[in-house]
Amino acid sequence: MSQMKKIACALALAAGVTTANAGEGSFGWIYTLDLQPKGTLEFEQRLQYNRGQAGGKYDFWQGRSELEYGVTENFQLAGYINYSYVNAYRNYPATSEFPNGETGGWGVSYASDSKYSKGRLEGGSIEAIYRITNPVIDPVGVGLYGEVTLGSMKDEVEARLLLQSNFLDDKLVLAANLVGAIEKVKFVQGETGPESMIDLLFGATYRVANNWTAGLEARYHNDFYGYKFQTHTQRAWFFGPNVHYATKDWWVTGAWRWQPTGGKCWAPNDGECSDGRVWDSHTRNEFIVKFGMPF
Amino acid sequence: MQWKPAATLALVPVAALIAPAVAHAKIYVSVEETQQRLFPGEKLTPNPVALTEAQREKMRDLSSVREPFRGERVWKTAKGDWFIVDEVVGKHEMVKYALAINADGTIKGIEIMEYVESYGYEVGEASWRNQFVGKTSDATLKLNKDIKNISGATLSCKHLTDGVKRLMVMYDLVLKGTK
């Protein structure tokens, strides 16, 4: 693999689809400070679908099965397994090597102009959340999040600063996550690439009726080459709505994020950007469905 | 969009297996039964109240509860005690509760009438509810001040405490001294 292609692939893998939710998740991608009560367990299942890049066809599905446990009132541990399926065909812009469009992006092991599909059991993650202040009783809820992922496609360490404020009898929730991550992306033949990421996620949900909330959320995404955020390689915005339904025995959340134009790449490979949008693991549209069941 | 059943099946697995094992309690108590718990053997007469906007605003300001209060759910005993049914926001649904106030203005007790949530059923236990007994409208009635929180039930504890505060403000504004 050429150095240019390695970098391109590394960038393609940089963003990593790293999302889950603490406790009951009323947002699609934003963590809140709604943790599991001490001594309780919750099962959570999620499925994310990323669809559509520059052209051709690109579908990326990611599943996650998770167990969350409340260790103390303010400390929660979780573990999950990650699996995915990619189906791509000439989804990147044409290049001199592939004049009809290139098959590439997150989950595609090698560049070509052929159809590519593959399912993977990627690996597992563990996460911990510590709630410093509680938004139900404090003006601003603050929490710290840490996650370690080991997998066939990447190893990752991620940290988040979680912020949340509640209003109007706790019916209106404003939440933000400042996310930092470093990733060792794994290529074919054992090669690896150093990546890092800084994201800001923010949004609001409102309880529109008993059991129902609806809201909006956004992601400001930045990728870097190197473990220490050395070279800014990519920037993009995502916006979309969410809806959440919960009863005492289960809950479900659906959300959609759309990538507008205005994104930018500083990568040495044109395939990462076109029409003002960034690709690699990103798509025009992202959908997520999450299901939770407390014990 | 190409249908990929293998990917969609990711939603199914363990959840389906554990679903039957998950069953949580509910609390449902009727108005009549709650009245008998708080005023055993006594006859209660409906005593609806009509609140002015200024009174509602004061109740809202002093308690922070924004859900509208329904004035028709007020009863009185022959001795001048009060029984009030109210609702506050729960995690998923409304929490319905009743407050009993003695004729001298002290809280006789509270009862949880409807509670249908994943967690936090400890608010129905006497040890938590008894914190309110004997307090008057002059009490702070604030969670983590004169009312203790329950780990894992913070939202319910907070809203119920604020709800009781609202009703005591209403008692002070409207019911106190009523013949």
Cα–Cα nearest to A92, from A18, A5, A15: A5
Partnered with residue A271 across adjacent β-strands are: none
Q: How far is B6 from chain A (nearest CA, A)?
A: 8
Mark A127-136 as b/e (b = at least 16 C-beta within 10 Å): bebbbebbbb
- A51 touches B: beta carbon within 8 Å: yes
Structure tokens at A202: 């923010």
DSSP state of B92: S
- Determine whether the interchain pair A47/B10 forms a contact, defined as Cβ–Cβ distance below 8 Å: yes
DSSP state of B64: -
Nearest by CB to residue B11, choosing from A85, A249, A291, is: A291
B88 contacts in chain A (CB < 8 Å): 169
Q: How far is A129 from chain B (nearest CA, A)?
A: 15
B11 contacts in chain A (CB < 8 Å): 45, 47, 63, 289, 291
Nearest by CB to residue A169, choosing from B10, B151, B159, is: B159
**Three-state SS string across chain A, please?**
CCHHHHHHHHHHHHCCCCCCCCCCCCCCCCCCCCCCCCCCEEEEEEEEEEECCCCCEEEEEEEEEEEEEEEECCEEEEEEEEEEEEEEECCECCCCCCCCCEECCCCCCCCECCCEEEEEEEEEEEEEEEEEECCCCCCCEEEEEEEEEEECCEEEEEEEEEEEEEECCCCEEEEEEEEEEEEEEECHHHCEEEEEEEEEEEEEEEEEECCEEEEEEEEEEEEEECCCCCEEEEEEEEEEEEEEEECCCCEEEEEEEECCCCCEECCCCHHHEECCEECCCCCCEEEEEEEEEEC
Host domain of residue A10: 3-294
- CA–CA dist A16, A151 (Å, integer): 12
B1 contacts in chain A (CB < 8 Å): 51, 59
Answer for the pair A248, A274: CB distance below 8 angstroms, yes or no.
no
- Determine whether the interchain pair B159/A87 forms a contact, defined as Cβ–Cβ distance below 8 Å: no
- Determine whether the interchain pair B152/A73 forms a contact, defined as Cβ–Cβ distance below 8 Å: yes
Q: How far is A233 from chain B (nearest CA, A)?
A: 30
DSSP state of B175: I
Distances (CA, A) of A231 to A191, A196, A284, B85, B167: 20, 9, 24, 62, 60
B24 contacts in chain A (CB < 8 Å): 248-249, 294
Nearest by CB to residue A171, choosing from B4, B23, B89, is: B89
Question: Which residue of chain A has the CA closest to B145?
Answer: A137
- A66 touches B: beta carbon within 8 Å: no
- CA–CA dist A67, A106 (Å, integer): 26
Distances (CA, A) of A248 to A24, A27, B119: 11, 18, 8
**pLDDT tens digits, residue range B42-84?**
999 999 999 999 999 999 999 999 999 999 999 999 999 999 9
Q: What CATH number corresponds to the domain at position A223?
A: 2.40.160.40
Domain count for chain A, please give it.
Answer: 1
Residue B6, helix vs strand vs coil: helix
- Determine whether the interchain pair B24/A210 forms a contact, defined as Cβ–Cβ distance below 8 Å: no
Question: What pLDDT is stored for residue A269 in this prediction?
Answer: 59
Partnered with residue A184 across adjacent β-strands are: A155, A194
Q: Where are the domains of chain B?
A: 24-175
One digit per residue, the tens of pLDDT, for chain A of length 295 reads: 343 343 333 333 333 344 444 568 899 999 999 999 999 999 999 999 999 999 999 999 999 999 999 999 999 999 999 999 999 999 999 988 999 999 999 999 988 999 999 999 999 999 999 999 999 999 999 999 999 999 999 999 999 999 999 999 999 999 999 999 999 999 887 889 999 999 999 999 999 999 999 999 999 999 999 999 999 999 999 999 999 999 999 999 999 999 999 998 886 556 678 889 999 889 999 999 999 999 8
Chain B residues with CB within 8 Å of chain A CB: 1-2, 4, 6-8, 10-15, 18-19, 21-24, 26, 64-67, 88-89, 91-94, 116-120, 143-144, 149, 151-155, 158-159
**pLDDT tens digits, residue range B97-152?**
999 999 999 999 999 999 999 998 999 999 999 999 999 999 999 999 999 999 88
Higher per-residue confidence, B21 vs B68 = B68
- Determine whether the interchain pair B158/A45 forms a contact, defined as Cβ–Cβ distance below 8 Å: no
Q: How far is A289 from chain B (nearest CA, A)?
A: 9
- Determine whether the interchain pair B22/A63 forms a contact, defined as Cβ–Cβ distance below 8 Å: no
Taking the CA of residue B124 as centre, how many other CA atoms within 13 Å lie in the half-sphere pointing to its CB? 17
- Determine whether the interchain pair A37/B149 forms a contact, defined as Cβ–Cβ distance below 8 Å: no
